[in-house]
Amino acid sequence: MRDIQELLKTRMATGSIPAFVEEENQEDNGKDIEIIQELGDCGLCSMYC
């Protein structure tokens, strides 16, 4: 656990933490992002297989 916390500190990200719409405030959690096509994954998986 400490490893992943330490690792995340090395991300070169300097913005804020975006507000996340909690489940009780929306029908599908996380879907406050404008989606053109929702795909099965982010494309990362196909790097592995």
Shortest separation between residue 25's beta carbon and other proteins, angstroms: 13
Residues 1-40, one symbol each (x = binds other proteins by CB under 8 A, - = not), give x-xxx-xx-xxxxxxxxx-x--x----xxxxxxxxxxxxx
Question: HSE on the CB side for 35, CA within 13 Å?
Answer: 11
Of 20, 40, 15, 44, which Cα lies nearest the Cα of 31?
Answer: 20
Shortest separation between residue 46's beta carbon and other proteins, angstroms: 3
For residues 11 and 5, what is the distance between their CA atoms, to the nearest angstrom?
11
The residue ranges that bind other proteins (CB under 8 A) are 1, 3-5, 7-8, 10-18, 20, 23, 28-49
